[in-house]
Amino acid sequence: MEENQNQTRVKDDIVIRFSGDSGDGMQLTGTLFSETAAFTGNDLSTFPDFPAEIRAPQNTLAGVSGFQLHFGSTKIYNSGDLCDVLVAMNPASLKANLKWARKGATIIIDDDNFEDKAIQKAGYTSNPLTDGSLNSFVVIRVPMSRLTREAVKDLGMDPKSADRSKNMFALGILLYMFDKPLEHTYHFIEKKFGKKPLVVEANKRVLRAGYDYADTVEILHSRIHVPPAKMPKGRYRDITGNVATAWGLMAASEKSGRPLFLGSYPITPASEILIELSKHRNLGVKTFQAEDEIAGINSAIGASFAGSLGVTSTSGPGLSLKVEALGLAVMTELPLVVVDVQRAGPSTGMPTKPEQADLNLALFGRNGEAPLIVMAASSPADCFYTAFEASKLSLEHMTPAILLSDGYIGLGSELFRIPKMADLPEIKPPIAQPNTPYKPYARDPETLVRKWAIPGTEGLRHRIGGLEKTNIDGIVSTDPINHETMVKLRAEKVKRIENFIPLQEVYGESKGRLLVVSWGGTYGAVRNAIDKCRSEGLKIAHTHFKYLNPLPRNTAEILKAFDKVLVCELNAGQFVNYLRMNFPEVKYAQYNKIQGLPFMVNELYEAIKSNF
């Protein structure tokens, strides 16, 4: 850290946590700061942390909404462990989030909200601002509510309406503190509230008031500048995993020439995929908000039968309801992409909290022998590429695919380099041509893939459905030998997809004492922990799995090259048990967390060291 003559310190990276009541606009405030950080060239990763209640009682711990942002001048892999700056808009948000602030962190609070009643409602027995409990932090007390009302007093707004803008005051302070411009937020306000000029003016005034307050009152010892990150040239944007997933599906639709249809039922934390795709009717996207989860997937299967890229999106409870229809998609050998943005379970569980809870369900959760493709995205930006790849494999191999995301990466965001469509691989579905010899279960000898007969195509009339069919001809059959043949063919077809996916890669040592294994959205935290260990001289390796069924064909070779394999996952051990089932000769250890929270780098670092 350096300090220049203008009292501006330079840091490589910073973690900020915004927190307040559910109605205080902390998600928006964090998003706007993130977009400004991206606009000024920083790499970043975010973690929205909000309650499931639509409107919890004011000033209670249950109603606290948080948003954590990690931005920097180097590659940012995760949303950070403990924060350098905590914004706490009321006593409850301070109490709920103080554990996420490092010692010496700066805490910015709305002094006007720390009244005795609110302090007691949050569960404090004394005022934390005066009882010495915050002595190890730098506390900045700002009368935000009063100054917000002062900024808009000549606009004729009532106090309640004025208070809705106080999150802009907090944002103004942070933009000044970290040497960021106001223009990006001005543009957002004008675009979002363009039809409400009074709201536009109020928010812009309050934002500027917060910025000027931080400047003129000198509440900060110095400003902090985080230089731009060095990144490859290209067009970038801040993107959430759910939006990236939607874009990946649209890209696959364009590359395959198959129209995109999404049939879904809204569910946290996956609803944004439906919302985003519904905006793109001009690109030929069709979306259907179904009456329930079963109707959602069945409509997608119907669309697939009719020749579309059929997709349904959900979370764990919804995937549980879709499993019978998933078996139908396996039986009919139709392409279908099921996006599961995982959350903590079982049952309704904790709807807004992330967990790698559904791997067993994705791998095994169907009656009969019904294997399908299972993949997992590793970051918000990777959701684009994994959605594209899941669609490509499903379309080209005529089998359903489950894409596992989770609430952490689905709702979180990072900087995304927008690819050129020309750089994405072609997708070539095996579509049967009109008036050619056609049998519904005649297969390609290499892939075992059957042809896709689009209804209405001349000369391709055939029977399809959930009852077992004869091989080749597709006639309904209960013949036992034929059934065993078809079961084995469907399984072998999925197994052979291993010849069309990349080999598994290893970061670090190619063999040795310890291999750390991860999958899905834990990638960033695990990679940071590995780098920390390696910087201290530990000769360890890391391999991260995207392709879960089938596994890459060199998986056994990699696992057997190490004395011990440590599997880290946000569940009770679903992936490690899957590996034990397939590779029982390997010595496994596991590190599991089931708290509805992502991994912290430091806890992984300690777990890795203890297993080395």
Residue 389, CA distances (Å) to 23, 64, 93, 128 in order: 38, 37, 41, 51
- Read off the pLDDT of each residue in 36-62 and give the average, rounded to a whole number: 90
For residue 5, the model assigns a pLDDT of 38
For residue 229, the model assigns a pLDDT of 95
Question: Above pLDDT 70, what percent of the chain?
Answer: 99
For residue 174, the model assigns a pLDDT of 97
Other Cβ atoms less than 10 A from the Cβ of 437: the count is 7
For residue 170, the model assigns a pLDDT of 97
**Could you tell me the residue ranges of all domains in the chain?**
2-225, 237-423, 507-611
- Read off the pLDDT of each residue in 172-191 and give the average, rounded to a whole number: 96
Do β-strands 540-545 and 373-376 pair in parallel, antiparallel, or remain unpaired? unpaired
For residue 218, the model assigns a pLDDT of 76
pLDDT tens, position by position, 477-501: 999 999 999 999 999 999 999 999 9
Scanning the structure block, which residue is given the tokens 């027995």?
Answer: 125
Here the tokens at position 288 are 């259907």
Here the tokens at position 195 are 């039809």
Q: What is the dihedral of CA 181, 182, 183, 188, to 10 degrees?
A: 130
- Read off the pLDDT of each residue in 414-422 and give the average, rounded to a whole number: 96
Q: Of 183-187, 198-202, 216-220, 295-299, where does mean pLDDT reach its minimum?
A: 216-220
> What is the rounded distance in angstroms from the CA atom of residue 464 to the CA atom of residue 305?
9
For residue 53, the model assigns a pLDDT of 80
Is it the case that residue 6 has pLDDT exceeding 60? no
Q: Amino acid identity of 270?
A: A
For residue 1, the model assigns a pLDDT of 40
Is it the case that residue 104 has pLDDT exceeding 90? yes
Cβ neighbours for 139, distance < 8 A, ≥ 6 positions apart: 106, 107, 109, 129
Q: Classify domain 507-611 at the CATH topology level.
A: Rossmann fold (3.40.50)
For residue 605, the model assigns a pLDDT of 98
Q: Is 264 left (phi over 0), alpha (psi -120 to 50) or beta?
A: beta
> Please, what CATH class does the domain formed by 237-423 belong to?
alpha beta
- Read off the pLDDT of each residue in 320-328 and give the average, rounded to a whole number: 97
Identical fold for domains 237-423 and 507-611, yes or no, is yes
pLDDT tens, position by position, 196-225: 999 999 999 999 999 999 998 877 878 999
Report which of 399, 470, 474, 466 is spatially closest to residue 429, judged by C-alpha positions: 399
For residue 450, the model assigns a pLDDT of 98
User: What DSSP line would sit under 142-203, residue for residue?
Assistant: E-HHHHHHHHTGGGT--HHHHHTTHHHHHHHHHHHHTT--SHHHHHHHHHHTTT-HHHHHHH
Scanning the structure block, which residue is given the tokens 């203890």?
Answer: 610
> What is the rounded distance in angstroms from the CA atom of residue 353 to the CA atom of residue 269?
9
What are the φ and ψ backbone dihedral angles of 372, each rounded to 5 degrees? -150, 175
Q: What is the 3-state secondary structure (H, E, C) of 439-497?
A: CCECECCCCCCECECCCCCCCCCCCCCCCCECCECCCECCCHHHHHHHHHHHHHHHHHH
> Please, what CATH class does the domain formed by 2-225 belong to?
alpha beta
Q: Is 368 left (phi over 0), alpha (psi -120 to 50) or beta?
A: left
Is it the case that residue 145 has pLDDT exceeding 90? yes
For residue 185, the model assigns a pLDDT of 96
